[in-house]
Amino acid sequence: MARSYRKNDRSKAGKGKDCRGLKRLIVRAKPGDQTKGLLVAGNVVFPCALGRGGISSAKREGDGATPLGPMRVISGYYRGDQVAGRQRTRLAMQPIATDLGWCDSASDANYNRPVRKPYAASHETMRRDDRLYDYCLVLDWNITSRRRGRGSAIFFHLAKPGFPPTQGCVAVTEKVMARLLPWLTDRTILDIRR
């Protein structure tokens, strides 16, 4: 009897994956360097970059820290002009428009939300020249339960060569992101641990 696609797909996925995708990615700081990390996906470990402030349980706007704890992957963005189309994934992905920004002003009504540029309050430009957001996944840090000053724009995105520190995000190489994207869903948890 032939095996079904689901069974075959499930058997190839490895530990921690099934036909519904990866349930949890675990991130810890690399021993001896609080700004570099190790990301565990199933039974595979990948290097990653962490925030310049290391991992913090008391995340605040502008501290450069990666927040400690679990964060759900909500959705994502991609640069259609830089990457070869939309990567196969189960996540809701949108192309990054030229006027897309992300508000990081704690006093603004749209704090930690996407905004259209030009925008009067402080905001991050999503269409970056350094290509870090060619693939940019939005993590549920201070979004569904939002508090002013608790930190904004915590993403899972692409890393610079050599994994220099981020502003609080988790970043991997484009090759690793392409490998993970087919397994990520809006139920995947990125769990930052010590």
pLDDT of residue 88: 84
Residue 6 predicted with pLDDT over 50: no
DSSP string, 42-102: TTEEEEEE-BTT-EESS--TTS-PEEPEEEEEEEEEE-TTTTTSPPS-SS-EEE--TTEEE
The amino acid occupying position 160 is K
Q: What is the pLDDT of residues 163-190, one digit of tens each?
A: 999 999 999 999 999 999 999 999 999 9
CA 177 to centroid of chain Cα atoms: 9
Q: Domains for the chain: give ranges and CATH numbers.
A: 20-193 (2.40.440)
For residue 4, pLDDT over 80 is answered with: no
Tens of pLDDT, residue by residue over 84-127, are: 655 789 999 999 999 999 999 999 999 999 999 999 999 999 99
pLDDT, tens digit (0-9, with 9 covering 90-100), for 29-71: 999 999 999 999 999 999 999 999 999 999 999 999 999 999 9
Q: With beta carbons less than 8 A apart as the criterion, state whether 72 and 140 touch.
A: yes
